[in-house]
Amino acid sequence: MKLLVLHGPNLNLLGTREPEVYGSLTLAEIDAAISELAVELGVEVETFQSNSEGALIDKIHASASSVNGIVINPAAYTHTSVALRDALAAVAVPAVEVHLSNIHRREEFRTRSYVAPVVVGQVSGFGVDSYLMGLRAIFNHIKKGLSEGP
Ligand code: CA2
């Protein structure tokens, strides 16, 4: 099984500012925790961060035929991007949306996710554990689908 983990804009700055909101881990440390869990689950994981909406969409398109599932933190594009939502819907690869912070208990504009209706589910508010729970969730979702057969 191969999974893709996508990080949206500004997440490359993690660990430098707003630790009270996003935690104190850097993106490299989050990726290391993801890789560790991937070994435990016996799956291959690729991680990718971009500040560009187009680059994230291109990565989804390019990976569509080679990955079984996606974990995505679309960051601010969560609340703005119909294009990202359309890309996820178009490729029909199951995805889980994750957020470090709880987007439902912050500013009102963060409570709307354009991505939520096209993913299997959302994990929000648990810091790095949102990614790890998201990874386990998509792994279990795919395994269930594979074992059920056609
Ligand atoms: O809680 C999350 O994971 C978010 O997706 C993070 C986004 C925010 O726009 C979403 O509403 C919720 C922001 C990521 C910005 O990350 C920073 C990291 C360090 C310093 C400043 C911003």
Report, in angstroms and rounded to the nearest whole number, the Rg of the chain calculated over CA atoms: 14
Ligand 1 center from residue 121 Cα (angstroms): 19
Pocket mutation for ligand 1, best pick of 6, 7, 10, 114 (most atoms within 8 Å of C-beta) = 10
Q: Domain-by-domain residue ranges, the chain?
A: 2-148
> Which letter does DSSP use for residue 102 in this model?
-
pTM: 0.96
Q: Name the superfamily (CATH) of residues 2-148.
A: Dehydroquinase, class II (3.40.50.9100)
Pocket mutation for ligand 1, best pick of 22, 107, 110 (most atoms within 8 Å of C-beta) = 22
Tell which residue, 47, 44, 43, 10, has the closest CA to residue 28.
47
Tell which residue, 51, 24, 5, has the closest CA to residue 127.
24
1: confidence class by pLDDT, cuts 50, 70, 90: very high
Tokens 């430098």 locate to 16
148: confidence class by pLDDT, cuts 50, 70, 90: low
**CA angle in degrees (0–180, nearest 5) for 36-52-2:** 30
The answer to whether 135 and 38 are in contact (CB under 8 A) is: yes
Ligand 1 center from residue 131 Cα (angstroms): 13
Given a cut of 70, whether residue 47 has pLDDT beyond it is yes
pLDDT tens-digit readout, 79-101:
999 999 999 999 989 999 999 99
| DSSP-derived pairing of the beta strands 44-49 and 95-99 | unpaired
